[in-house]
């Protein structure tokens, strides 16, 4: 009975040592008698007990590693502290185990030296403004250096850059001065734009007033012109009507005289009446030739005869 129990315990121990369950996104490095044997993927894995053993468990997921804050001297001799995080992923589990003693330490040391080399070539202002450029350079250098370790650096991010306190105070004063300067510039620009807009409005108003006055003068002139034209047309029509009336009167008189059959004596009498009207008035002077006096005398006698 005791022998069966001992045999059962031995079988359980052997089974426990032989059967391995590998989780998803992990691999096992299996060694046989101290030498690399195989890479066990996710699932159930059976190994020879006491002959094969699991050397390492490697995660294939993307991993993060915080680099401790490092003091770095810039090109203009300012000491700043840089805090960095590295994202990496194991692509060759065998190389990650056998090509380097400690993968994370190797990545950390390499990141520190690379940061000091890159930032040491930059001024303080460029360090703050070129953070993305620093990230790209770090990733490229680390990815190239860790390729032989079976590792791929997918991303590097600088979390924080801390200059000394006196430098921070000076930078804050500079930023305040820049903000005040921008505020003054914006205010001056606003006033200038307002003055320009006001001047443009006044100019436009003067132009519109001049245009309105011009149009009013044109309208007045057109009205005066139309009035003169109408007045002239009225006068012309009046003259025409008077002339037509006089022509009608002359025609009627002429027809009446013609129909009456006047003789020389009647004509002479009418001539005397016309001469009387012509000579009527203080300013009118009529010169009669001497030879016509006899005729006029006879005409006067005739006129008196007609009156009697």
Segment 41-71, tens digit of pLDDT: 888 888 888 888 888 898 999 999 998 888 8
The pLDDT assigned to 294 comes to 52
What's 63-163's CATH class?
alpha beta
DSSP reduced 3-state for 218:
helix
Q: Is the pLDDT of residue 308 over 50?
A: no
Strands 52-59 and 151-162: unpaired
Question: Which stretch, 132-136, 241-245, 281-285, has highest mean pLDDT?
Answer: 132-136
pLDDT of 87 reads 94
User: pTM (2 decimals)?
Assistant: 0.53
98-123 per-position pLDDT tens digit: 988 898 999 999 999 998 898 888 88
Radius of gyration of the chain (CA): 65
Residues near 304 by beta carbon (within 8 Å), at least 6 away in sequence? none
Q: Would you state the pLDDT for residue 210?
A: 87
Which residue from 83, 84, 81 is spatially nearest to 165, judged by alpha carbons?
Answer: 81
**For 170-183, what is the mean pLDDT?**
78
Domain ranges of the chain: 2-59, 63-163, 168-227, 236-307
What average pLDDT does the segment 289-299 reach?
A: 51
| In the predicted structure, residue 290 carries a pLDDT above the cut 50 | no
- 13 has pLDDT over 80: no
- Return the structure tokens found at 142: 């680390």
The overall average pLDDT reported for the chain is: 80
Q: Which CA distances in Å does 293 have to 118, 270, 277, 284, 289? A: 144, 17, 18, 19, 7
pLDDT of residue 253: 66
Confidence check: pLDDT of 86 > 90: yes
DSSP H helical ranges for the chain? 2-18, 93-98, 103-119, 124-129, 131-145, 165-260, 264-279, 293-307
With a cut of 70, say whether residue 38 has pLDDT above it: yes
CA atoms within 13 A on the CB side of 214: 6
Query: Which residues, in sequence order, are bridge partners of residue 266?
Result: none
Residue-level pLDDT at 247: 75
| Each residue's pLDDT tens digit, 229-256 | 888 888 888 888 777 877 787 677 667 6
């Amino acid at each position: 009975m005791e022998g069966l129990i001992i045999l059962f315990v031995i079988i359980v121990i052997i089974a426990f040592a032989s059967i391995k369950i590998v989780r998803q996104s992990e691999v096992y490095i299996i060694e046989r008698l101290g030498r690399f044997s195989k890479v066990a993927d996710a699932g159930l894995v059976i190994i020879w007990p006491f002959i094969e053993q699991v050397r390492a468990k490697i995660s294939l997921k993307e991993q993060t590693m915080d680099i401790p804050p490092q003091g770095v001297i810039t090109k203009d001799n300012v000491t700043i502290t840089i805090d960095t995080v590295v994202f990496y992923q194991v692509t060759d589990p065998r190389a990650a185990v056998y090509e380097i003693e400690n993968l994370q330490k190797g990545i950390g040391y390499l990141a520190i030296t690379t940061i000091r080399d890159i930032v040491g070539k930059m001024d303080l202002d460029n360090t703050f403004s070129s953070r993305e450029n620093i990230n790209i350079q770090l990733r490229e250098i680390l990815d190239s250096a860790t390729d032989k370790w079976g590792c791929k650096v997918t991303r590097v991010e600088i979390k924080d850059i801390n200059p000394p306190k006196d430098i921070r105070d000076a930078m804050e004063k500079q930023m305040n001065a820049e903000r005040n300067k921008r505020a003054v510039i914006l205010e001056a620009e606003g006033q200038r734009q307002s003055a320009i807009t006001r001047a443009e409005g006044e100019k436009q108003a003067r132009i519109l007033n001049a245009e309105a006055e011009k149009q009013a003068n044109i309208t007045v002139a057109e009205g005066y012109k139309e009035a003169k034209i109408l007045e002239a047309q009225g006068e012309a029509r009046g003259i025409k009507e008077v002339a037509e009336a006089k022509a009608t009167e002359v025609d009627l008189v002429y027809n009446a005289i013609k129909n009456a059959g006047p003789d020389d004596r009647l004509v002479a009498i009418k001539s005397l009446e016309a001469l009387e009207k012509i000579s009527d008035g203080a300013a009118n002077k009529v010169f009669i030739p001497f030879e016509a006096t006899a005729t006029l005398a006879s005409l006067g006698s005739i006129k008196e005869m007609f009156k009697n």
